Structure formats: C-alpha cells, structure tokens
Structure 1
Amino acid sequence: MRLIVKSLHIIAAFFLLFMICGSLTVSAESHYASKEITNWQIKWGNKAGDKGYMVPVSVKEGWLSAGSGGKTTELPDGISSIWTRIKLPEFKYVSPSVYIDTLYALHVKVYVEDRVLFEADRSYIKDNYSLLVPLSSGDNGKNLYIWTETLKDRIGIKDQVIIGEHGVLIKDYIKNGLIDVILGGAFLFVAIVLFVCAFYLNKDYFSIAASLSIVIASTGVLSITYSPFIYTFYSYFGPVSIVFLDLALLSLLPALTYLFEKIFGGGRFGIIRKFRKFQTVYSLFCIVCLVINGLSDNRFVELYYFVSVTIIGFLMILQFILLIACVIIYSLKGNKDAIIFAIGFGTAAFTGVAELVWYYIRQGNYDLFYWKWALVVFILSLIIILGRRLALNHQQVVKYSRELELFNNELQRSEKMEIISELAASVAHEVRNPLQVTRGFLQLLMEKSNGDEQRFLFMALSELDRAANIITDFLTFAKPEFEQVSILNVHDEFKHIESILLPLCHLNGGKMVLDVEEHCWVKGNSSKFKQAFINIIKNSIESLGEEGTIHMSVYAKGDRVYIHVKDNGEGMEPGVLNRLGEPYFSNKSKGTGLGLMVTFRIIEAMNGEVRIISKKGAGTESIIILPLAEAPDDSNSL
C-alpha cells in the first residue's frame, strides 16, 4: 500500500513539474521580443563639476548624436562627465527593464525624466559597469537619462542598449562575467592542490611546482578580480578586488620568469635571470606605491595607475617577446619541454601581446578578454612539462633501483663465490689425498673379493669417483686460470663436443642441430672450454621431452663471438632462472649446482658473458658472448 502511495506521489510530482515547465514555456513564448536601441544623444558635463543632480530634461541645445559600434566617447580636456539621453520606444512588456552590457564610468546615475532609477559611486578605479534597470509600464516613449563621471579617458556606453522583459534580460545580466569567476575558482583550486603536493617533492621540483602554483593562483585571481561580475553584484568588495588584482599581476610576472628560468636555465649572459630580478624589484616598488596610495586615500591614484598599468603593460610585452625568443632557440635545439612550452606560451603571449597592442591603439577603450583562455592553454602546457619532468625522474629512480638491485645481486654472488673459492682452496687438496688412498685399498680388496662383496665394493668406488669429480669442480671453480691458453677454433671444438654428447642426446630421445661458422676464433683452454659447454648442453639434454631438439649456432659479429644453445625442453620459472649459478642450488634431484657455477666461472675467466632466457614449458636458450680472437697464421687450433 505504501509503495502505491509513494508511486502516486511521484507521478503527481512529475505531473506538477510538467505543468510548471509547460506554463513557463508558454509564458516565455508569450513575451514580446527584446528591442535593441542603437542610437542616443550625449551632452558634456560642465567644467565646474557636474554631479548629476540637475537632469537636463528641458535643455534642447548641446546634444550630440551617438550610438553603438564598439567605440567609446572621448572626453574633451577638462571634462570628466557626460549626460546620455536615450529615447525609449513604445513597448508592451509586463516587467520592462533596460540592459546595458558595458558602461564605462566610476559614478553613475540613471533617470527616467527626473525620476531616479539607479545610482552608484565607486571610490576605486574599476570603470566597467553592467546595468539592468527596471522600468514601469508608464515609461513608454519617455527619455532615459544616464549621468556618468570618470577619471579615465573612456566614458559612456560601449555598445548597444537593450529593452525587454526583466525575466529574459536578467539571464544575460547574471551571466556577464560569471564564467570568469568559475574559471578563476578552478585555477585557485588547482593551485592549492599543486602547492600542497609540492611539499612531497624534492628540492629541485619543489621550486618548479611552487612557482607554477603561484602562476596558476595569480591567473585565477586575475580572472576573478578582472571580471565585471564581482563589481556588479558585490560592489562592496571592489576596493579589495582591485588590490588583489594588482597583487596577482605583480606576482604573476616574476613568478612566470622564475619558472622559465628553473626549467630552461638563466639564458645566454644570464639575461633571463637579470630580467627576473628586475621584475621582482619593480613589483616590490609597485606594491610600495599601492600601499602609499591606499594610505593617502587615493591621492596618488593617477601616478599609481601609470606605474602599475601603463608601464607594466610594456614590461609584459617585453617579457613575452624575450621568453618567446628563448623558447624558439631552445625548440630549434630539439628540447621537447621547450616545444611544449612554445605551444602554450606562444598561444598566451601572442594573444596577450595582440590584446595589449590593441588596448593601446584604442587608448584604453578595450576590455582584455581572450587572455584568460589563452592562459588556460599555457597553464596546461606547464602542467604537462612538470608531469613529464616527474615521469622522467620516476623512470630514472626506477632505473637506478634496478641497477642497484643488480649490483647487490652481483655483490652477493661475488661474496658467495669468494667463500666457495676459499673453502675449495683450503679443503679440496686435503680431501682428495685420503680419497685416493681409500680408493686404492678398495681396488685391492675388490680384486680378492667375489659375489656380493665385489658388488658392494664397486658401488663404494663409484661413490668415491663421484666425490672426486665434485672436488675437481671445486678446484676448477677455485682456480679457473688456464694452464695452457691457445687460439681455439669454435667450429672444431663444437664438432668434438657434438661427438661426445650425441649418444646421450639420442638416448634421451632428442636430436642435435649444429650451425657453426668455420672462422670463429676465441682465446682459452680447450679442455675448460669443452667442460663449460658440455655442462650447458648436458643440462639441455636432460630437460628434453619426447622429440626434443637442441640447436647450437655460432657466429661472429663485430669483435664478439655469439654462441647460442637453444632447446625446446621443459624450461624454467623466473624464480629458478634468477638463482642459476648459485652454490648448491640445482633444479635436479641429485644436483649440486656446481656444474653451472663452474661454467660461469670459466666463461668469466675468458672475459665472456652468459645470458640465459627461459620460459616454463617453452624451452631455454643460453647465449654466451666471448671476445673474438685473431686467427693464427696456420689457421689451426693449437
């Protein structure tokens, strides 16, 4: 039952919402279209100081024709105010309003005939107004008077005047500059996150991340405080916004140059570093002027405006040109960071320079607009550069970690080998002598015995021989130096090895394929060379299954001889592969691990390198790389 009641409530809510939306749509469609007023008249204020109290309703002379077109009115010398008279058209709006997108003035008063509709007075230099003035239905055909006063060179209506329904015009009124506030808030959020993350970076990257966060934060503050939204809806924050606007600009310029310096260096003759120091000093000077002007209640506002706006504009153009020139030079040298920086900064610099030049051409009668979107591209490029730097740093750390791990493994292996060598050198000779004596006595007893005694003595002799072979491996590992070094023909050596191991390979159901170049020579001892490769090939034979194949290939490349022994046996897992060559580690049930250990030591003594590639179930490939020796005069192995 409750479910049914809730369902009915939901249906009723949707129905009510549908009816409301429908009525709103009908009411919106019933509105008369807004009208654009493009022509009006202006009249200069008097030099004595017109404060807009006396509306010139009855004045017929002195009015000049004006209108839309993107041009603002230029004030005559000694005049700081004008009157604007707009003839309101006939309308049938329910809630009429007049919307002016941009009006340049510091003080504004709006009248219909002599009735005051709006009044505002700014004590700070932000002359961009956005007005939405409600009218009454009885204002049909009357004159709208706007009194404006300023300290700047521009004054009056920038573009057109629109009259229409209040509910329709208020949308444009609210949206004017709102996107700038949203964009600036996003910049500030990114800057705070980046600044916090900077404390987790090392010193080198902390300075880059911190300066980048200052650049992003300054851009966000500029976007918010330059927007007319703040001064339209929160005019009481105007003085504070102007201060933050100036501080953001004075922080942005040296921080940007410092960031460039940290990424690309001080430039030739240290020009970037010197310019950054000059910018820092000049920004501090401007901040001092800002404090003095604030304490003196804006008595030096014109001087401060010249120092912090006019000169700063020229410095920005100079900075953009300098950085663009440096970026082009670095880009031509193939610096990837410089190319990314060139794309982002080039977009911002070109847009900023173009708008500043147009601003000065228009003598200040232009509102900078596109710079903030160009800065979005630039900030993205800076974030990409920082991300690349961190990624490269991470890759370098990973590389160093791997190299350190390999070094530690090699150090552990060397320590183990040294221990085994010392053990072998001190024990092997002492153990071999009693073994030989024991073997001799057992042979004498075996000659005089029969039956089971002879069989048991034979088993004892076999185990003694096995122990002697292990001791021989110990001695070979402990002393891999070769008694007789000669120039070996690898082709002949492998032919001999093949003849030795081919029966064992056939016995295990496999076959051997030999592909050896005839003129490959290495320097070493023939017996040790054969011992090393017999150990490797024997391991391959023992790993073969049915119809297994061992492929041996030898070729010379450059000053090296490459020997490949590849089988399609059972292969090894990564954990087993990493431990090959360790003392007493073996993958066989009766193995000691000394065979491969001796093999590695022999190859190492020949200044060679062993690489083993294996995958479980896919076989193993051993790659031995030895120095190529010069062929002897008679071209034969010694």
Structure 2
Amino acid sequence: MPNHGNQRRLAILVGMIGVITALHYLTALDKVHYHDIYRRLYYLPVVLGGLWFMLRGGVATAILISLIYAPHVLFQWGHHPGSEPEQYLEIFLYNVIGFITGFLTQRERLQKTRYQQTAQRLEESYVKLREQADQILEIEDQLRRADRLSALGELSAELAHEIRNPLGSIRGTAEILQDGIDPADRRYEFAQILLKEVARLNGVVENFLQFARPGRAEKGAFDAFEVLGEVFRLVERQAQKSGVRLLMEGSAAWVSGDDDQLKQAFLNLVLNAVQAMPRGGTLRVGARADEAHLYLDFSDDGPGIAEENLERIFSPFYTTRPDGVGLGLAITQRIVRRNGGQIRVASHVGEGTTFTLILPRADAADFPRE
C-alpha cells in the first residue's frame, strides 16, 4: 500500500510538471503575463515533492524543473535581455524552495518518528510498571497471608495439645461403654453417634493442623493419572451413593512434585465435586499439556459458584455447606503452590464448576534412577 501511494504521488508530480512545461513551450512569447503565471506554477510540484518525498524529493523535483525550464529561458527569452536575470532567479528559487521544503519535512518526520518511539517506550514502561505493581500487591497479600498463617500455626499447636488428648480419652471411653451395651439397646446407637462425632472432630483438628503447619514437598516424578486412579478408588463408594459418575479422560501424564501431597489435593477436589452433586452428576478429570506444564481439569455438573464468591473459596474457613469446615480448598491451594503449580477456577451458576491444576511437567532429572 505505501508503494502504491508513492507511485500515485510520483505520477501526479510528473503530470503537473508535464502540463506546466507544455503550457510554457506552446504559449507565444508575447503573452508575458501567461508565462509569469506558468513559471510560478512550478512551485506547486516543487513544494509537493518536498512534502511527499522529503529532502531528496524536493531537491530532485527542483533540479528536474530547472533542467526543463532552462532551455525555455535560453532560447525563447534570449532576445529579451532584461528578462533573463529574472528567469535565472526563478530557477534559483525553485532549488531553494525545494531544499527548504524537503529539509523541513524530513526534520518533521524524523521528529515524529522519535516521538512515536518515545511513546512506545513509555507505553512499554507503563506496562512493566503495571506488572510490577501487580506483583507487589500480590506479594503484600502473600505477606499478610503469611502473618495470619504464622499466628494460626502457633494457635494450632495449642489446639492440638488441648483438643486431641481429650478426644483420645473420649473415644476410648466411648468404645468401652459401647462394648458393654447390647446392640439391641438404644444406648448402643448413641455410643455409635458419639464415636462418629469424635472421629469427625478429630478430622477437623487434623485438617486444621495440616493447613497451619504443612510438611515440606519432596520433589519427584509421578504419573498424575495413576494417583488419580487411587483417589477414584477411595471415593468410589461415596460417589456411588450420591449417583456421581467418575470419569478419567487421559493416561500417563507425568508431573514433578510430591505425590503424597498432590494426592491429598486431588482427593480434596474430587470430594468437593461429589459433595456438590448430592443428586447425581458427572465428574470429569481431563488433561492437556504444553512444553512445561500439565493442566488437569476437574469439571463437575454441580450447581456452580456465584461470581462474587469465586475469590473467597480459597480463604480458610469459608464454606457454603452447613457441615463444612472450609479448609479443603485452602489446603489444596497451599499444596499446589508448594509443589510449584497454580490452581484456577471457572464456574457458572446452574452449569457446574471447573478447577484447573497447573503442575510442572517432569523432566529427565525428576525420574527415579534404576
């Protein structure tokens, strides 16, 4: 497109010069006023040449017009000695105007180019500053979260001491009482309820401790689908009771991380999906990969999560279930981050939810040596 534009402009210049020159050479010399008009018309292509093609265009157009106009001055105006100096001055002015117009246009375009480059650099700097500002805000959020978790860790140690020991005593006493009660007695059912609630409370304490003081991740290579298969077998019975189908779409997806910790993360996500579909549905776990990461999608047919709640679901103790503790997703997020990954969520109310784990793919150094 720029070449076509330049060709069109060049054709206009040549056409203008040709028309003005023809008027000069075809008009009788006694019509001096017409010739005065024609020679001044040459300034139009000179100025346009400088504006369109900068310094080279302005100078080249002026020189071309000078060469074309010079024979007219020499041969047709030679018998008017008084007019010759004026004609030669006109030729000189053509070149001066062509040079000045081209020079100024070239300076203006160079200045414009510098302004554009400066604007582009400023825009790139602005984008980098925005990214750095976002990173700073994220780091500040992580620091605040770390402070809260540090306090939570101290509290968890006290809770472990104050709650788990009495729970063990209550469980032992309840088991002794249950052994001494006839199964047909209604009190036997109460003893079972007591043992069940003690186990649930102990599970809450375990989750609390796991969130507050997680273990270190042991890096290694493992097949994510092999671990998912183990998780599916653990949850299979509960899923059948809720009418939930568990589908695993993929095979042999090797990732780098701690298989025990990530197994817990997988289990939390699968249990959440099953609990979100008490009237049945389907949980699909699929995989896709790029050169550096494996993407595991946990997609369910549940009721979905409202948009205003999406940012809160990973906060400790936030839950929408009456019997929930609100630590499952918080623990999952911490495990995934500790293993060098990320977790994302997308949800539509009434359609379902998809949690995506982005985990680093295993390289040769991660595989166990035989």
TM-score, normalised relative to structure 2? 0.64
Q: Is 1:511 the counterpart of 2:238 in the alignment?
A: no
Corresponding position of 2:35:
69
Q: 2:328 aligns with which of 579, 591, 595?
A: 595
Shift of 1:424: 1.8
Shift of 1:353: 4.4
Corresponding position of 2:130:
398
Shift of 1:560: 4.8
Distance 1:418 1:460, change over 3 A: same
Contact 2:255/2:360 (8 A) holds in 1: no
Corresponding position of 1:441:
173
How far apart, CA to CA, are the structure 1 residues paired with 2:289 and 2:175? 49
Per-residue CA deviation, residues 345-401 of structure 1 (Å, 9 max, x unaligned), is 984444454577679992225784894995898487677556545544543443333
Q: 1:467 aligns with which of 201, 216, 220?
A: 201
Q: Is 1:540 the counterpart of 2:268 in the alignment?
A: no
Q: Secondary structure at the match of 2:310?
A: helix
Contact 1:566/1:620 (8 A) holds in 2: yes
Shift of 1:514: 1.3
Distance 1:413 1:574, change over 3 A: farther
Corresponding position of 1:334:
none
Q: Is 1:609 the counterpart of 2:304 in the alignment?
A: no
How far apart, CA to CA, are the structure 1 residues paired with 2:126 and 2:216? 46
Per-residue CA deviation, residues 31-53 of structure 1 (Å, 9 max, x unaligned), is xxxxxxx8898xxxxxxxxxxxx
Unaligned runs of 5+ in 1: 1-37, 42-64, 71-100, 102-156, 161-319, 321-344
Corresponding position of 2:231:
497
Contact 2:62/2:94 (8 A) holds in 1: no
Distance 1:571 1:411, change over 3 A: farther
Corresponding position of 1:363:
92
Unaligned runs of 5+ in 2: 1-26, 42-49, 67-88
Corresponding position of 2:285:
552
Distance 1:375 1:607, change over 3 A: closer
Shift of 1:447: 4.3
Contact 1:420/1:478 (8 A) holds in 2: yes
Counterparts of residues 171-570 of structure 1 (less than 5 Å): 347-354=53-60, 362-364=91-93, 368=97, 371=101, 378=109, 388-389=120-121, 391-448=123-180, 453-481=187-215, 488-518=222-252, 520=254, 522-524=256-258, 526=260, 528-544=261-277, 548-554=281-287, 558=291, 560-570=293-303
Per-residue CA deviation, residues 497-553 of structure 1 (Å, 9 max, x unaligned), is 112222322333331211342373655353x44322111111122233766321123
How far apart, CA to CA, are the structure 2 residues paired with 1:521 and 1:387? 43
Identity %: 20
Distance 1:159 1:441, change over 3 A: closer
Corresponding position of 2:71:
none
Per-residue CA deviation, residues 543-593 of structure 1 (Å, 9 max, x unaligned), is 337663211235675465543322233333443222232211223233222
How far apart, CA to CA, are the structure 1 residues paired with 2:259 and 2:117? 57
How far apart, CA to CA, are the structure 2 residues paired with 1:394 and 1:350? 38
How far apart, CA to CA, are the structure 2 residues paired with 1:592 and 1:376? 71
TM-score, normalised relative to structure 1? 0.40
Letter in 2 for 1:407: I
How far apart, CA to CA, are the structure 1 residues paired with 2:94 and 2:256? 85
Q: Secondary structure at the match of 1:416?
A: helix
Corresponding position of 1:580:
313
Distance 1:540 1:361, change over 3 A: farther
How far apart, CA to CA, are the structure 2 residues paired with 1:366 and 1:531? 84
Letter in 1 for 2:345: I
More strand by share: 1
Letter in 1 for 2:271: K
How far apart, CA to CA, are the structure 2 residues paired with 1:366 and 1:554? 72
Contact 2:247/2:283 (8 A) holds in 1: yes
Letter in 2 for 1:444: I
Per-residue CA deviation, residues 447-505 of structure 1 (Å, 9 max, x unaligned), is 45675554444433333222211111122223432699876443432222112222322
How far apart, CA to CA, are the structure 2 residues paired with 1:615 and 1:628? 33
Contact 2:281/2:300 (8 A) holds in 1: yes
Distance 1:494 1:350, change over 3 A: same
Contact 1:480/1:605 (8 A) holds in 2: no
Distance 1:608 1:391, change over 3 A: closer
Q: Secondary structure at the match of 1:602?
A: helix
Flag the structure with larger Rg.
1
Contact 1:568/1:620 (8 A) holds in 2: no
Per-residue CA deviation, residues 174-224 of structure 1 (Å, 9 max, x unaligned), is xxxxxxxxxxxxxxxxxxxxxxxxxxxxxxxxxxxxxxxxxxxxxxxxxxx
Distance 1:453 1:502, change over 3 A: closer
Number of corresponding residues: 307
Contact 2:293/2:358 (8 A) holds in 1: no
Letter in 2 for 1:494: L
Distance 1:485 1:380, change over 3 A: closer
How far apart, CA to CA, are the structure 2 residues paired with 1:545 and 1:434? 34
Letter in 1 for 2:203: N
Contact 1:607/1:627 (8 A) holds in 2: no
Per-residue CA deviation, residues 411-438 of structure 1 (Å, 9 max, x unaligned), is 3333333332232234323321122112
How far apart, CA to CA, are the structure 2 residues paired with 1:366 and 1:555? 69
